[in-house]
Amino acid sequence: MNIQRKYSLPNCTLLLEGLSDVTRAAQFQEMRPELSILVNAECYLSGYNQPLTGGREFFESLVRAVSGYAQEFLSSVPNPQAHNQESELVEFQKIDSNRHRLIIHSEGTPEGFESHSKNSKRPPIEIDLNTVQLFDLVEAVDQFFADSQTLPELSLELQPVTRGYGGASQALVRQAVPAAVGVSTLAVAAIAFNLIPPPQMRPPQPKPDEQSSSTTKSLTPVASSAATPIAAATPTASTKPAVKDLEALLNTVPEITDPSQLRALNRQVYNQIHPAWTNRSGLNEELIYRLGVAADGAIVGYKALNKEANLRVGQTPLPNLLYNPANRAPISNEPIGQFRVVFNTQGVLEVSPWRGYASTPQVLGAKITDSNIVKGLNQKLYNAVRKTWSGTPTFTRDLKYRVAVNKDGVIADYEPLNQVAFDYFRETPLPKMFNAIYGSNVAAPNNKEPLAHFQMIFKPSGTLEITPWQGYQQ
Amino acid sequence: MNVSASLTPFNSPTQDSLPTILDTLPSPAIASKTCPRRTRLQIDLILLAIEALELGGSEAILAFAQELDLKGIVKDRVNLWRMRSSNPLRRAHMRRPLTIMEAKALVVIACYMARRLTVVIRQLLMICQQMEEKQIPLEQNLRLSNYLERFRAHFKSRMNARRSGLLALSSDEKLDELAINLLGQLLFCTGTAGMQRFWISLFDGEVE
């Protein structure tokens, strides 16, 4: 499936075209598919008619150089990532405090970089950007980084430039007299390239936050298979009909109140909305909705609970996530669970049962209870995770998960239990293990066979702890 | 045992810990728990630029501290003033350290304030660009000259020019240049990853 992603700012538009991995896409018809193979990248800059285009190598080089130069702009300390003429297609030069030269070397000469046969290449393209244009380019790149459905393996990695070059006092000089020093620093920076150690600090995926509406991000999956809700469930601009629908529905159907079922549904609702909520900026006020959800997790209706939520429903993924009667039997007399969903101004999604949990929820499904088998599975799980989890954690607090395995020790479900566990889940081997089996991170949990449940703790010290599941701590 | 409907679905371990918003900023790999000189200077200057953009800026800093649940760190006006006086350029410079946690809180606040001012910041920078292209002095634009004048006034009343050392911020031109540079930095703070970028940049050249 051909996919396009577009990150649009006033002075810069980044257009990515690619394909999604077919095996994964098939599982996930309703969601925004993941662009996992980049075919072509185009970068349009205001004032230049021709876009900068290239393949994966160009794009990766572009985001590295942009990211490094953004940091240099902020600190006035030369950033080696921005000036790597030797091995990068894209580099920057500082002309003065308000002029930044973007240089793109031509791609793909057969001689490669070793020969330095610059003569055989086309001359590099040079574009001078002012500070606002530079910012728009940086912002387009950052919006790409924040988009977990587009080349998720590329994420924002920031680390301070190491000492040894660009000490504090020099930085101060440059800030005061940027024009005089800006260009001469490049040569020195070039020497420092080889001294830079690999990244140590890897902050979490940026959490897009509120910002002014002057920048926009539009995402356009071509050939989208997203559900097109039909009239019965479609909210109009004012969402009034949906309001009626939800309330009318709730008067006629039983409500799901079982805490264990609510907890499972809560996850499904979160897993549907979280990846689909892409533009997390520009909210001045939190948006609160009441959702009706069928037993299979389909969102059957929603109601805006504050004025802002009513006005800005288009900024949320809710209209696209409403169940599609074409794909699913119509709701007739099914029980409905109700949830409170909050899109807050800091880009954080909160989902909770509308009336809370009447008692502590339990994990659904049959359990493996034989303590000897559980013990064996515990060890097996420990070995499997330990084998793939190494390196120095960047998180500073315990990541807690509930992990379930079947009788063969195959991972069947995992659920983050605290916020850090959610933020740093990519640092654990869990998503990869889960993905390898089910082709998705958010597939519905396997509840068909008896499972053994464990609490798994990843500690900042690198220690892994697995204990038999004791239930949710309320 | 009931979870009220307004809670997040996860049991956040918040009792013992600091506001989660600070977790979005990683702690730098520096030996001490306190900030280097340039970090202290830079944070105070960016706040100074915000105050020049917005009347009542220092009140707003405290209001944001409240709103962002950072009152535990930025407690009150005196507390804020003490933190900012760790800037070595200050007339009332105090040899008080600025902890990493305090610095994070101030950066979070600065970036949220910058975001709210995105439109103004962008407009001022574009005006600046146009004036330079046409080679018109910046003071001829009323909005820009208001910002520059206020920045200079704030700077002169609070900073000790003799301490500025290498910065050599003795003339109005130098101060204007600094003010415009800070405006550019503020624009970067407004971005999707602006807070993280600004934060990490504060430690450039400070880590081993």
Which residue on chain A is closest to B114 by alpha carbon? A211
pLDDT at residue A309 greater than cutoff 90: no
Smallest CA–CA distance, residue A121 to chain B, in Å, is 34
B194-201 helix and B172-189 helix, angle to the nearest 10 degrees: 130
Rounded Cα gap, residues A321 and B86, in angstroms: 51
Q: What is the DSSP string of A212-254?
A: -TTS------TT-------TTT---TT-HHHHHHHHHHHHHSP
- To test the contact with chain A by mutation, choose from B123, B204, B206, B208 the residue with the greatest count of A C-beta atoms within 10 A, namely B204
List the beta bridge partners of residue A352.
A340
* Beta-carbon contacts below 8 Å between A and B: 222
B39 within 8 A of B103, measured Cβ to Cβ: yes
Per the prediction, chain A carries an average pLDDT of 75
Smallest CA–CA distance, residue A66 to chain B, in Å, is 12
Residues in B 40-79 with any Cβ partner in A closer than 8 A:
none
User: pLDDT band at A431, cuts 50/70/90?
Assistant: confident
pLDDT of A174: 36
pLDDT (average), residues A395-409: 89
List the beta bridge partners of residue A287.
A343
**Tens digits of residue pLDDT in B4-59:** 444 333 443 444 457 788 888 988 888 788 899 999 999 999 999 999 998 788 88
pLDDT at residue B84 greater than cutoff 80: yes
The separation between CA B38 and the C-alpha centre of its own chain, rounded to angstroms, equals 13
Beta strands in A222-348 (DSSP E): 287-294, 299-304, 336-343
Helix (H, G, I), strand (E, B) or coil at B46: helix
Q: Are residues A157 and A265 in the same domain?
A: no
* Residue position matching structure tokens 């204007």: B176
Chain B residues with CB under 8 Å of A156 CB are: 193, 196
Contact A160 B206 (CB under 8 A): yes
Burial bucket for residue A133 (CB in 10 Å: 0-12, 13-18, 19+): buried
Q: Are residues A34 and A156 in the same domain?
A: yes
Q: Is A365 or A118 the better-scoring residue by pLDDT? A: A365
**Which of B132, B167, B188 minimises the CB distance to A70?**
B188
Token code pair at residue A210:
């509120």
Which of B50, B205, B107 has its CA nearest to residue A173? B205
With a pLDDT cut of 70, the percent of chain A lying above it is 72
pLDDT at residue B121 greater than cutoff 90: yes
Domain definitions of chain B by residue range: 31-200
Q: Are residues A345 and A413 in the same domain?
A: no
Radius of gyration of chain B (CA): 18
pLDDT (average), residues A377-392: 86
Contact B13 A417 (CB under 8 A): no
For the ranges A110-114, A150-154, A309-313, A414-418, the one whose mean pLDDT is highest: A150-154
A333 within 8 A of A266, measured Cβ to Cβ: no
End-to-end CA distance of chain A: 44
Say if strands A299-304 and A287-294 run parallel, antiparallel, or are unpaired. Answer: antiparallel
pLDDT of A130: 94
Least confident of A182-196, B34-48, B121-135: A182-196
pLDDT of A115: 42
Q: In sequence order, what are the residues at sequence separation of 6 or more whose Cβ sits closer than 8 angstroms to the Cβ of residue A62?
A: A41, A43, A52, A54, A89, A90, A104, A141
Total Cβ atoms within 10 A of residue B143: 11
Q: Is A420 on the interface with B (CB under 8 A)?
A: yes
pLDDT at residue A456 greater than cutoff 90: yes
Burial bucket for residue A23 (CB in 10 Å: 0-12, 13-18, 19+): exposed
A197's enclosing H/E stretch is none
Chain B residues with CB under 8 Å of A172 CB are: 38, 165-167
**Tens digits of residue pLDDT in A166-176:** 443 343 333 33
Residues present in chain B in total: 208
Q: Is A419 or A466 the better-scoring residue by pLDDT? A: A466
Q: In sequence order, what are the residues at sequence separation of 6 or more whose Cβ sits closer than 8 angstroms to the Cβ of residue A22?
A: A1
Q: Is A198 or B101 the better-scoring residue by pLDDT? A: B101
Q: Is A347 on the interface with B (CB under 8 A)?
A: no
pLDDT of B2: 40
pLDDT of A3: 87
Q: Is A424 on the interface with B (CB under 8 A)?
A: no
Rounded Cα gap, residues A134 and A104, in angstroms: 15
pLDDT of A237: 35
Positive or negative, the CA dihedral B180, B182, B188, B190 is negative
pLDDT at residue A433 greater than cutoff 70: yes
Q: What are phi and psi of A186, to 5 degrees?
A: -60, -45
pLDDT at residue A308 greater than cutoff 80: yes
**Which of B17, B119, B196 minimises the CB distance to A212?**
B119
Rounded Cα gap, residues A441 and A435, in angstroms: 5
With respect to residue A398, please indicate whether it lies within any of the assigned structural domains.
Answer: yes
Q: Is B174 or A221 the better-scoring residue by pLDDT? A: B174
Q: Is A438 on the interface with B (CB under 8 A)?
A: no
Say if strands A52-54 and A2-9 run parallel, antiparallel, or are unpaired. Answer: unpaired
pLDDT (average), residues A291-318: 83
Q: Are residues A276 and A412 in the same domain?
A: no
Which of B170, B71, B124, B36 has its CA nearest to residue A176? B170
Chain B residues with CB under 8 Å of A356 CB are: 2-5
Smallest CA–CA distance, residue B168 to chain A, in Å, is 7
pLDDT at residue A409 greater than cutoff 80: yes
Token code pair at residue B38:
């340039």
Rounded Cα gap, residues B50 and B179, in angstroms: 10
Q: Are residues A405 and A326 in the same domain?
A: no
Token code pair at residue B145:
């000259």
Total Cβ atoms within 10 A of residue B156: 14
Q: Are residues A346 and A383 in the same domain?
A: no
Token code pair at residue A164:
């040894």
Contact B191 A474 (CB under 8 A): no
Q: Are residues A344 and A377 in the same domain?
A: no
Least confident of A18-32, A214-228, A254-268, B18-32: A214-228
B118-133 helix and A131-146 helix, angle to the nearest 10 degrees: 140
Contact B129 A160 (CB under 8 A): no
Geometric angle at alpha carbon A137, from A132 and A138, rounded to 5° = 95
Total Cβ atoms within 10 A of residue B56: 9
A51 within 8 A of A8, measured Cβ to Cβ: no
pLDDT (average), residues A16-20: 90
Q: Are residues A304 and A395 in the same domain?
A: no
Token code pair at residue A296:
């299979």
Chain B residues with CB under 8 Å of A176 CB are: 166-169, 174, 177-178
With respect to residue A278, please indicate whether it lies within any of the assigned structural domains.
Answer: yes
Contact A203 B178 (CB under 8 A): no
pLDDT of A86: 75
Contact A354 B5 (CB under 8 A): yes
Q: Is A167 on the interface with B (CB under 8 A)?
A: yes
pLDDT at residue A102 greater than cutoff 70: yes
Residues in A 383-402 with any Cβ partner in B closer than 8 A:
394, 396-398
Q: What are phi and psi of B162, to 5 degrees?
A: -70, -25
- To test the contact with chain B by mutation, choose from A46, A66, A69, A74 the residue with the greatest count of B C-beta atoms within 10 A, namely A74
**Tens digits of residue pLDDT in A199-243:** 334 344 443 433 333 333 333 333 333 333 333 333 333 333 333
Smallest CA–CA distance, residue A278 to chain B, in Å, is 12
pLDDT (average), residues B127-134: 92
pLDDT of A194: 35
Give helix then strand counts, H and E, for chain B: 8, 0
Contact A211 B188 (CB under 8 A): no
Q: How many domains does chain A have?
A: 3
pLDDT at residue B205 greater than cutoff 80: yes
Rounded Cα gap, residues A169 and B165, in angstroms: 9
Q: Is A260 or A100 the better-scoring residue by pLDDT? A: A100
Q: Is A221 or A27 the better-scoring residue by pLDDT? A: A27
Q: Is A124 or A109 the better-scoring residue by pLDDT? A: A124
Helical H segments across A33-157, by residue range: 56-75, 131-146
CA–CA distances in Å: residue B8 to residues A344, A346, B15: 11, 14, 15
Q: Are residues A116 and A178 in the same domain?
A: yes
Range of A462's domain?
371-468
Contact B201 A160 (CB under 8 A): yes
With respect to residue A345, please indicate whether it lies within any of the assigned structural domains.
Answer: yes
**Which of A135, A171, A208 minimises the CB distance to B187?**
A135
Chain B residues with CB under 8 Å of A421 CB are: 10
Total Cβ atoms within 10 A of residue A329: 11
Q: Are residues A346 and A385 in the same domain?
A: no
Chain B residues with CB under 8 Å of A458 CB are: none
Geometric angle at alpha carbon A8, from A425 and B46, rounded to 5° = 75
Chain A residues with CB under 8 Å of B40 CB are: none
Q: Are residues A349 and A375 in the same domain?
A: no
ipTM exceeds 0.95: no
**Tens digits of residue pLDDT in B150-167:** 999 999 999 987 776 656
Burial bucket for residue A250 (CB in 10 Å: 0-12, 13-18, 19+): middle
Smallest CA–CA distance, residue B149 to chain A, in Å, is 18
pLDDT at residue A446 greater than cutoff 80: no
Chain B residues with CB under 8 Å of A77 CB are: 201, 204-205
Residues in B 94-113 with any Cβ partner in A closer than 8 A:
112
Geometric angle at alpha carbon B12, from B8 and B13, rounded to 5° = 165
Q: Are residues A55 and A106 in the same domain?
A: yes
Domain endpoint, select from A353, A388, A422: A353
Rounded Cα gap, residues A467 and A379, in angstroms: 10
Total Cβ atoms within 10 A of residue B129: 16
Q: What are phi and psi of B92, to 5 degrees?
A: -95, 40
Which of A461, A409, A401 has its CA nearest to residue A428? A401
Residues in A 69-88 with any Cβ partner in B closer than 8 A:
70-75, 77, 79
Rounded Cα gap, residues B141 and A33, in angstroms: 49
